[in-house]
Every structure is written in structure tokens, then in C-alpha cells.
Structure 1
Amino acid sequence: MRTSFDVADFGAVPDGGGDAAPSVVAALQAAAAHAGPATLRFPPGEYHLWPDTAQRRELYVSNTVGDDPHVRDKTIAVLVEAADDLVISGAGARLVLHGLQTTFAVIDSRRVRIEGLEFDFAVPTVVDATVVDAGLTAGRAYRVISVPETTLFSVDGRSVRWHGEPLGSGTYAWDGYDALEYSQIHDPAGGWTRRAPNPLFDGVHKIVAAGRREIRIVYDHDEEPADVGLVYQMRLTTRDHPGGLVLDSTGVTLSGVRFRFLHGFGVVAQASRDISIEKCEFRAPPGTGRHSAGFADFVQFSGCSGRAVVRDCLFDGPHDDPVNVHGTYLRVAGQPAPRTVELEYAHRETAGMPQFSAGDEIEIVDRATLRPIALATVERVRQPSGRDHGGPLRTITLTVGSALPGQLAGRAAVENVTRTPTVHIVRNVFRNVPTRGVLVTTRRPVLIEENRFERTGMAAVYVSGDATDWWESGPVRDLTVRGNEFVEPGGPALFVDPRTTMSDPAHPVHRGVVVEGNRFVLEGVPALDAKATGGIRFRDNTLARLGSPTWDIVLRSCPDADISHAVYEPPLRVLRSALPR
């Protein structure tokens, strides 16, 4: 029998306006500690959660800040630890976070379901500035920009200081000036978002506040701006928190959760098994002047296993990729014994995490070609814990059960083959995305079906794999892209692009890619651009071509490709070429 808990019984008052964090912490701890199935309910209403009384944990999370000691402690608004069979239910409940926090974290838990909650920030860490007026006055160009009610700022001479809320220490949660460190442009009328230069603060003559939410910027030049209606989205770049976190857990489901804003690096499922995200909405509150719902990615699966499922969700307004599924290549730095390798994290934003357990299978690949060198089974490992900084955070020493080839240092990388998931990405909508829609690199079956990709800034579906840049592993072996709509992507609708410096057609990096029954609306980009991929099947798709004709399919060193020509008018334009060997 399931036991019910209610945050109100622990002192949380819906719409009370005070800090509900202590009550929420107490309720979560009681529900998680209960021996048996439990449900924790948030009654409808608004709850404010401040960082001063929230839970904190030292954690190392993929694609955030690596081992930077200044931000190793994460502040977590809703923390579930060591729970087994817990439901957190909150239809009609809105949780408003203050400062810089992770919305939720599920750690060391099994069978956890979070449903119905809405998460937002009192002061989002992205500034959405809409140009509401522009022109010339007294020989000088000007713009008037409007910002949402939740955006805090002050005019400081010829600059604007954007900032978060004042905290108990008297300092702001965050602050920065003018265009901050990163910008992108959103066109609400055209339904697109792109990474592009920000001209708002170039050649400024004078800045004045024009009401509570408007800022008038006068320039030294007389070139009249032509960007009324565009939204300049500005932020800093340090990913100090994951937006949400599922860590070392099994059987976790997010259902019907509304993420109005995620600070940091989105919802990260790391070293977890059987994770589902269903019927969730990643979108800023409509009608507020806010358009950015995320500081970076929306969802990432890193080093997971079992099933990774994303279905029936809306992804609208991230600052990076909505969905990314990958493992992590570790560079071989040394080989002190025939069965032992010293590994290191190579990317500055990823470190401190354990990657292996005894019994895991690993694959060693050549970094230049991503071609397998050897398979082995982990026998012993010395690695970071992911929870403390008591030892080295960037290095791992791995001993396997059989002798390895020599001279691996520098030229090879290692992937944990055991921690790779089966992936289903089904019936989602992707819109106002500046980058790719879905990134996926896993050797287990992947199904991307019945999704709608609207005007992504880059490729809609991107299959990479590299041991030189982001170090995101590994090869695709069974990928089906079926029944989707691709509407005017900014790059190839499907881009299969292993980051290799050499190619061998006899040994392609990826294989088993099937593209069937999709509808493509394309302007100046191909439906499929692939390299070093074997056995591609492209069939029964519909192409609508806008603008000047271009190649429909681009294949570079892709052996055994079967491209159907039967249903296309005019016939498909296919470019085939070979890469340097």
C-alpha cells in the first residue's frame, strides 16, 4: 500500500510567499526514508525556494564546469536521495527558484516518478531583449528595447548592468554588462532562432531607462536599425549547475513536468538506467516577453544504459541542443603495464565522474579513425567518485582482464560499451532551436519517429562521435529515422558526421542508418549529409524543395548505400565522393 505525504504537513504554504525550502526539504527526506511505496504531494499553488536554505552537494556533472573548484557544490531545490518507489505529484503546483539552483536531483534512487510540477526562476539567467522601436533622431540611430518583468537591470553610464536577485550575503546571484558573454537572435514572427552577432551595444552614444521595462539606446552612427520585433537573447557562459539531474539511479520518469526555465546545463541523466521523459514542456511562460527556456541544452543522457525515452514533449527556446545522447571517450595518456592504461578526461567541461565498474566491457579506438583497436573487460579501476575532491579528478587508471596492444598512449581513446542506452525519441516538437534538434551517438538501437523539427539553426538530427573535440562517444549501429517532419532546417536535415581525420571505406565509423517515410521541406540544404557510414537506406521519403536547387543527398565514403529514386519528382540529386585515406 502506498503511503501519502503532503508538503503542507511540513509547513509549506501554497501561495504563502515565504521561503518554502526548509519545509520541502523535510517532506522529501521523510518520504524518501519511508520503508515502502510513497507519494509526496504538492497542493496547487506557488512555492518559493531560496538557495540559502536549500540542500547542497558536491557533484561532478557531464558538460558543466568540469573540476572547477569554485563551483563544485551544487544547490538543489528538490533533492531526492536513496529513495525506492517514490512519486512526487504536483498538478497545479508552481515552484519558483531564487538565485542559482538545480531544479531537482534524483540521486542513488530507484523507481522515482515526478509528475505535474512546474519549475520557474524568479529571475532567469538569460536576458530576452525585444527591439520595440528603432529609427533616427538628430542624426543618430536609436533602439528601444523591452525586457520582461522578471529581468533586473540598472543603467550605468553607457552600459546596462543585468543582474540577479540580492542574496543574504548582499551580493547579486549573478551580474554582467551589455551583451554579456553569449548572444543569439530570436524572431517570434518567423519562428526561428540563430546564433548571430549582437549589435545592441555597438557604438553606443547614450543609454537611458525609458520606463520600468524599457531602455533607449542612442548610437554614434546614423545607420537606421532594421530589427524591430527581433529578440536578442543574452547570457553568461559558465554552466555552474545542471538544470536538473538524475544520477546513479534506475527507473526514473518525468511526466507532465513544465520547465519554464532551466539554469545551467539542462536535465542531465548521468550513469543511470531506464530513464523516461514524457509529456513534458520546455517553454518559457507565454505572453511574458520571455522566449528563452534554457541556458544551454534541455536534456542530456550521459553514460546511461537500459532505455532512454523522450516522447510527446515540447522543446521550445533552448540555447543549445534540446536532446543529446552520448558516452564519453577518455584519452589514453599512459600504459604502465600490459593490462593497465592511464586515462584522462580531455574536455575542460567534463571531469570528476566515475566511468567504469568491474565487469564492464570497454572498446579502445584509434582517435584519428575511430576504428576499434581492442575490446576488453574491466577488472579493476581507480577513478574519481563524482562526489568529492579527495583524489585526482581528471585521471582514471584501468586494469583489464587481458593484455592490450602496445603504444596506445596519445593515439587511442576508451569508451565504456556497457554504459550505452537504447534510445526512443518519439512524437516530440522542436522549435526555436539555434543548434541541432537531436544529437545521438550510441551503438544500441535508436528510433527517432514522428517528431516535428521546425527551422532548427543547424542539422535537425546530428550523429557525430569524436575523440578530438567534445569527446562524445561512440559509433551508431542501428538508427531508424522514420515518419518525421523536417521543416526548413538551417543545415542538413540529417547530418552523420564522425569527426575523423582519416577514412577507410572498408571500415566505416557508423552503419545501419535507415531514413524512411519522412517529409522534408528544404531550402538550400540536403535531406541527408553523411560520411564514413556504411549501409545507409534512404527510401519512401517526401521532399519539398524551396529556393535554388542543391544536392538532396551527400555521401562521402559511404559504402553500400541504397538511395531510392522511385517516388521523387524531380529525381533525387545525389553527390557521392570519397574522403582522403
Structure 2
Amino acid sequence: MPAAERADPAPAGNGRLGATVFAAERQLGGGLTHMRTLLDVTDFGVLPGRHIDATPGARAALRAASDVAGPVVLRFPPGEYHLWPDDAQRRELYVSNTVGDDPRYGVKAIALVVEEADDLVIAGEGARLVLHGLQTTFAVIDSHRIRVEGLEFDFAVPTVVDATVVDAGVEEGRAYRQIRVPAATLFSVEGASIRWHGETLGSGEVAWSGRDALEYTQIHDPARRRTWRAPNPLFDRVRSIRPVGERDVRIDYEHAEEPSDLGLVYSMRSTTRDHPGGLVLDSSDVTLSRLRFRFLHGFGVVAQMSRDVSFEGCEFQTPPDSGRHSAGFADFIQFSGCSGRAVVRDCLFDGPHDDPINIHGTYLRVAGQPDSRTLELEYPHPETAGFPQFSPGDEIEIVDRATLQAIASATVRTVRQPSGRDHDQPLRTIVVTVDAELLGDLVGRTAVENVTRTPIVRIARNIFRNVPTRGVLVTTRRAVLIEENRFERTEMAGIYVSCDADEWWESGPVRDLTIRGNEFIEPGGPAIFLDPRNTRSDPGHPVHSGVVVAENRFVLDGVSALDAKSTHGIRFRNNGIVRLGRPTPDIVLQSCSDVGIEFDGDEPPAAPLAGSPPSGN
């Protein structure tokens, strides 16, 4: 963006002069406020409704809010604000499930940074923040008692291209399609190819670009209200491409096979998760309330190494009548290595490119054992590295990677590890010393989990729709309650419980999981899938335990209500199952024990896989 179009922040101190103090009786965001200092971003040169860069003024306002001693409210008045990356704050940060330690992406641009703040409310009912280029929408870092409410976030040019087939057929012996893209999508036709691209930044560079099908595609069928991953035929054997008006493109092919995808939406993107969509890092008591995420670039909102984080009443969905379908580049919400309570309630999840909710820890592979009390650990997955995992006093559990059974536990005494904020230490290795003598053959065959940083979870009254994967992934040993949610046609399982020390390395086992009062409408895989990735299982030594599935409603077509492996103590009761199509066992069990199943009326019993112990009542 040209420098002349950017707003300059107000001179130092102007925002303070405009601040007011208001008293105890005002109700804000569900909590009673007492003598809160009120700051307004307009006191810092940020004006809604103008297509200028609000980044410098917003940064000054956030800095002033963090400097106030005592409770603060920072207000964004209703209106539209534009945030460009040219003057965004930049931080070297390493975030789970993104780009690992790839040095090309270590530094992130962040539109709004809340850092070292305490007791701050950011209130923005009616405020719409439009991001440009590639950025993280917001980051809460090293902060406590933070509430962000009412804001709407969107991107001027989303990094996912949603192309709808609006016409198709065969003319003069050749097939053709006409595709339509949203008004926000920028492109140019170059010969028999399309170049999709972002905006031109103040540096003169284009924010991003790619050609034709890009690197990844998922397909959405608005009529059937399903979304799935599949190959992209739009750019196969292309003869010519030409624009038809401002938003339509006609593609002619070398073949005469009539397309059968009229009305389908092809959602295309790259596969590089260079930014988290939002970030809550090393913070506690953070609530995100009534936020509307119209698009998130990168890897969703990540809560990492934080405590007591809640999402309430948030909406992850594209703007109505925008022609867009994809509200996210990957996941919507991820909790990684968190503790305290992880709460997601009363939210809408519509149109991600991966899982709406994923809650997990991270297994580290044991790569060395210098002595009987010291372990050299490593991040084995290329997309996760660079952040700290342990503090002195944390309890760790060492598991056999093949069975996922615990073989030892200990308490951390000292640790040498990356900071997550720089590359001064090796980014893939961590060295811990513990308080106990360990076995001497742990290298390679074992993995370590920090069991102190595992949260209690509540996921309640959310709606999941147009999901190409699972609705909820959760692996934590503390109490998990998933209740009164509606899962609409997830392409895979509605709820997926893994535990994996071989692929994604997402830990750990569940010990107390209650799934009750939910609706599972035509999932593409088992509605509830308990699928630990152990390669050797024994019913006498299960990975998961303590699972109650009660009072749920399942509408199924060719899949099971529950598919469970290596789980002890399943209780399946008072559930209603409606079958629409192919008959399939309601329950599938493998290497499970102490299973109690109660069906209403004359419903048939489960059909365990061969070799599984029989179910009991």
C-alpha cells in the first residue's frame, strides 16, 4: 500500500489524554468491570470506514493498553478497518503443525499483538478488520486475563480460491467448463493457464501467487451439503482458457468427455502453513468471545503452551452472499500442549480445509541417552519444531512407540530446549534430566509426553458443517466432555480419538471421555472413531479407557456409530440410531475389553471384528 495512504499514529500520549475511566456497574462481555480504564483506537489515529492502514495506530493503542496499571478496555468502534503487513509487527515464532523449523517462515507478520498485558478487554462489536497480504490476525503473548470480543476478521484477498462450475458441456467435439470465482479473488489469464495472486504490497511485491489447481484441492457440493478431498480435473488436458466477464473463466479441453460436475465448488490452495491464523502463546485465562472469522490464512487459531483458554459464541464462516465457501486454510482451532481448561462452546464451524477442532500434546522421540537420568529428545515431524515443551517440575511419561504403553515416568529437573522465539538453541532437539534412574534401552523405540501440560476439555453446543475431515480430534488424559453438538456430514469421523507416536506424533491417551447428547448426521466415516495408532495391541493393555457414549442421535449411511480399538471400559447406552442406506454394524470393536452396550428396543447388538472379546451388558 502506498505510504501516503497509511494513517500515522497519534503523537505519543494523545490516546491517554482521550482515555476515560468508568465505574463498577457496567456489564461488559459477561463480566462486571470495576474502574476500568477505557481507551478508544480512534484516539490513536485509527479511523473506521477509511481504506487506509490502521496498523500503526492499532499498535500504538495496544501498547498503551498494555502499559496501563489495572484493568483496561480497548474499544474498536463499529466500522471497517484495514490492516496491511508492511508495518505489521514481526516476531520469530515456532508454532505447532505449521512449517516446523523452516527458516524461510520463522518470522511471522502479526496484525494485532497483545504482549505482556494483564486484565485487558478488546471490545469491537460491529468492527470489521480486513487483513491484506499474508498475516496472523492477532497474537496474545505472555499475557493474562485477556478477553477479545465482538470483532470480525476477514482477508481482502483470501489465499484459498473457490471456483464454482457454472456451465459445462461439449461443443464441436470438445469439452468445456465455465468457472466463476468470488469478487475477492484476483487472477490473470496467461495463455492456457491462470495465475491466481494476492495484492501488490507497499514493497511492490505481490503477496502470493500460484497457477491453475495450486497444490491442494477439496470439493464442495452445495446441493448435497458435503465437502471432500479429491483430485482436481479443472486443468487437465486444457486447450485454451479465456476470461468471460470479470469473474468467469471458460476452459476448453482437448478431450470430448462431458464434465459431470456442474454446480460443484473446487477450493484450491497451496500447502504451506506459513502463519498461524491466530495465536495464544504462553498466556493464561484468555477468552475469545463472539468473534467472526470470515477467513483465516495459515493454520487456524492456535493456543500453544497456554492455560485456561476459551472460545465462546464464535463463528467460522465466510461472509453471506460473497460467493466464497472456504473460511479457513487448514484447521480452525488447535490446542497444543495446553493445561487448565480448554473450552469451545456455542460456535459455528463451516468450511475449513482441515479439522475444526484439534486438541493434543506432542510426543518427542527419544534420540539419545547420555546417562541414566538424561534424555535427548527430538521433534520428528517436519511441521512441528522449535518451541519449548518442559519446565522443571513437570511430570513426563515414557511410552513404547509400538504399544503406546507407559514404561516409565519421572519429574523434570533441568531442561535445555528452544525458546520458541529465536533460533539460539537447536530447534529440533531438547535435553532433559529427570529425578529417577531410567532403563538403558530407550533410544528409538520410545517417545516422551509432558503429562503436566494436558487440559480438561469441554466442547458443547457447536455446529460442524462442510467439513472435509473430522469434526473434533482430542487426545488428553484429563476429563473430556463433548455434549450437545451437531455434526453435519463430516467427510470422516465426527469425533476422532487417536494417540500417535509414529506419524503426526500427537499425544496422548484418553482416560475420561464422555460423549453425550450429540447429533451425528450422515458422517462419511465412523461417527465416533477411537483409533490409537499402536502397531501392537493387547486387550489386557489398552491405550484408551473410560469412554461413555450416551444419549446421542446417529443418522448413518453405511458407517458405524462407534468404531473402537484398544479401549477399555466403553459404555454405550441410550443412543438412537437411524439407518438410511447400506446395513453396517452399529459398533465395531478391536482389542477392546470391559465393554457395556445397551440398545433401546429391538435394535441389533454390535458386531465385533474377529478376534475381539465379546461385548457385555
Query: Is TM > 0.5 for Structure 1 vs Structure 2?
Result: yes
Code of the residue aligned with 1:577 in structure 2: it is A
Residue 59 of structure 2 aligns to a residue whose secondary structure is helix
Rounded Cα–Cα distance in structure 1 between residues aligned with 2:436 and 2:412 = 9
Q: How does 1:82-231 map to 2 (within 5 A)?
A: 82-231=116-265
Code of the residue aligned with 1:379 in structure 2: it is R
Q: What is residue 275 of structure 2 aligned with on the other side? A: 241
Check if 1:571 corresponds to 2:572: no
Q: How does 1:338-349 map to 2 (within 5 A)?
A: 338-349=372-383
Rounded Cα–Cα distance in structure 2 between residues aligned with 1:73 and 1:101 = 11
Check if 1:61 corresponds to 2:95: yes
Rounded Cα–Cα distance in structure 1 between residues aligned with 2:559 and 2:306 = 37
Check if 1:403 corresponds to 2:437: yes
Code of the residue aligned with 2:610 in structure 1: it is S
8 Å contact kept, 1:522–1:544: yes
Rounded Cα–Cα distance in structure 2 between residues aligned with 1:523 and 1:476 = 28
Instruction: Count matched residues.
Output: 579
Check if 1:420 corresponds to 2:457: no
Residue 575 of structure 1 aligns to a residue whose secondary structure is coil
| Cα RMSD after superposing both structures | 0.9
Code of the residue aligned with 2:581 in structure 1: it is G
Q: Identical aligned pairs, as a percentage?
A: 73
Check if 1:437 corresponds to 2:471: yes
Rounded Cα–Cα distance in structure 1 between residues aligned with 2:289 and 2:278 = 14
- Structure 1 residue runs of 4 or more that deviate by more than 6 Å after TM superposition: none
Check if 1:452 corresponds to 2:486: yes
Rounded Cα–Cα distance in structure 2 between residues aligned with 1:478 and 1:209 = 56
Q: What is residue 417 of structure 2 aligned with on the other side? A: 383
8 Å contact kept, 2:592–2:612: no
Report the TM-score, using the length of structure 2 for normalisation.
0.93
- The one-character-per-residue Cα deviations of 1:29-79 (angstroms, maximum 9, x if unpaired) are 000111110000000000000000111100000000000001100110111
| Pairwise CA distance, 1:168 | 2.2
Rounded Cα–Cα distance in structure 2 between residues aligned with 1:424 and 1:123 = 34
Q: How does 1:330-369 map to 2 (within 5 A)?
A: 330-369=364-403
Q: How does 1:537-548 map to 2 (within 5 A)?
A: 537-548=571-582
Rounded Cα–Cα distance in structure 1 between residues aligned with 2:389 and 2:67 = 28
Q: What is residue 29 of structure 2 aligned with on the other side? A: none
Rounded Cα–Cα distance in structure 2 between residues aligned with 1:101 and 1:578 = 51
| Pairwise CA distance, 1:573 | 3.7
- The one-character-per-residue Cα deviations of 1:329-356 (angstroms, maximum 9, x if unpaired) are 0000010010000000010000001000
Q: What is residue 325 of structure 1 aligned with on the other side? A: 359
- The one-character-per-residue Cα deviations of 1:509-558 (angstroms, maximum 9, x if unpaired) are 00001000000000000000000000100000000001121111000010
Rounded Cα–Cα distance in structure 1 between residues aligned with 2:48 and 2:162 = 29
Rounded Cα–Cα distance in structure 2 between residues aligned with 1:250 and 1:21 = 25
8 Å contact kept, 1:557–1:577: no
Check if 1:472 corresponds to 2:506: yes
Rounded Cα–Cα distance in structure 1 between residues aligned with 2:610 and 2:139 = 47
Check if 1:531 corresponds to 2:565: yes
Rounded Cα–Cα distance in structure 1 between residues aligned with 2:453 and 2:179 = 47
Rounded Cα–Cα distance in structure 1 between residues aligned with 2:397 and 2:608 = 33
8 Å contact kept, 1:555–1:576: yes
| Pairwise CA distance, 1:167 | 1.4
| Pairwise CA distance, 1:490 | 0.4
Code of the residue aligned with 2:370 in structure 1: it is P
Report the TM-score, using the length of structure 1 for normalisation.
0.99
8 Å contact kept, 1:260–1:282: yes
- The one-character-per-residue Cα deviations of 1:195-216 (angstroms, maximum 9, x if unpaired) are 0111100111110011110000
Residue 25 of structure 1 aligns to a residue whose secondary structure is helix
Rounded Cα–Cα distance in structure 2 between residues aligned with 1:216 and 1:250 = 52
Residue 86 of structure 2 aligns to a residue whose secondary structure is helix
8 Å contact kept, 2:414–2:432: yes
Q: What is residue 24 of structure 2 aligned with on the other side? A: none
Code of the residue aligned with 1:121 in structure 2: it is F
Check if 1:309 corresponds to 2:343: yes
Rounded Cα–Cα distance in structure 2 between residues aligned with 1:572 and 1:96 = 53
Which stretches in structure 2 are left out of the alignment for 5+ residues? Answer: 1-34
| Pairwise CA distance, 1:423 | 0.2
| Pairwise CA distance, 1:504 | 1.5
Higher mean C-alpha deviation, range 355-364 or range 185-194: 185-194
Code of the residue aligned with 1:533 in structure 2: it is T
8 Å contact kept, 1:429–1:451: yes
Residue 535 of structure 1 aligns to a residue whose secondary structure is strand
8 Å contact kept, 1:354–1:385: yes
Rounded Cα–Cα distance in structure 2 between residues aligned with 1:494 and 1:204 = 42
8 Å contact kept, 1:543–1:568: no
Which stretches in structure 1 are left out of the alignment for 5+ residues? Answer: none
Rounded Cα–Cα distance in structure 2 between residues aligned with 1:139 and 1:16 = 52
Rounded Cα–Cα distance in structure 1 between residues aligned with 2:140 and 2:566 = 38
Q: How does 1:6-25 map to 2 (within 5 A)?
A: 6-25=40-59
Q: How does 1:291-302 map to 2 (within 5 A)?
A: 291-302=325-336
Q: What is residue 280 of structure 1 aligned with on the other side? A: 314
Code of the residue aligned with 2:101 in structure 1: it is D
Residue 536 of structure 1 aligns to a residue whose secondary structure is strand
Rounded Cα–Cα distance in structure 1 between residues aligned with 2:355 and 2:363 = 20
8 Å contact kept, 1:503–1:579: no
- The one-character-per-residue Cα deviations of 1:239-282 (angstroms, maximum 9, x if unpaired) are 00000000000000000000000000000000000000000000
- The one-character-per-residue Cα deviations of 1:268-321 (angstroms, maximum 9, x if unpaired) are 000000000000000001111101000000000000000000000000000000
| Pairwise CA distance, 1:380 | 0.3
Relative to structure 1, the CA distance from residue 68 to residue 568 in structure 2 (aligned partners, 3 Å threshold; closer, same or farther) is: farther
Code of the residue aligned with 1:388 in structure 2: it is D
Residue 537 of structure 1 aligns to a residue whose secondary structure is strand
Code of the residue aligned with 2:422 in structure 1: it is D
Q: What is residue 23 of structure 2 aligned with on the other side? A: none
8 Å contact kept, 1:542–1:568: no
Rounded Cα–Cα distance in structure 2 between residues aligned with 1:16 and 1:386 = 36
Relative to structure 1, the CA distance from residue 75 to residue 355 in structure 2 (aligned partners, 3 Å threshold; closer, same or farther) is: same
| Pairwise CA distance, 1:579 | 7.2
| Pairwise CA distance, 1:568 | 4.5
Rounded Cα–Cα distance in structure 1 between residues aligned with 2:392 and 2:247 = 57
Code of the residue aligned with 1:115 in structure 2: it is E
Rounded Cα–Cα distance in structure 1 between residues aligned with 2:264 and 2:326 = 13
Residue 459 of structure 1 aligns to a residue whose secondary structure is coil
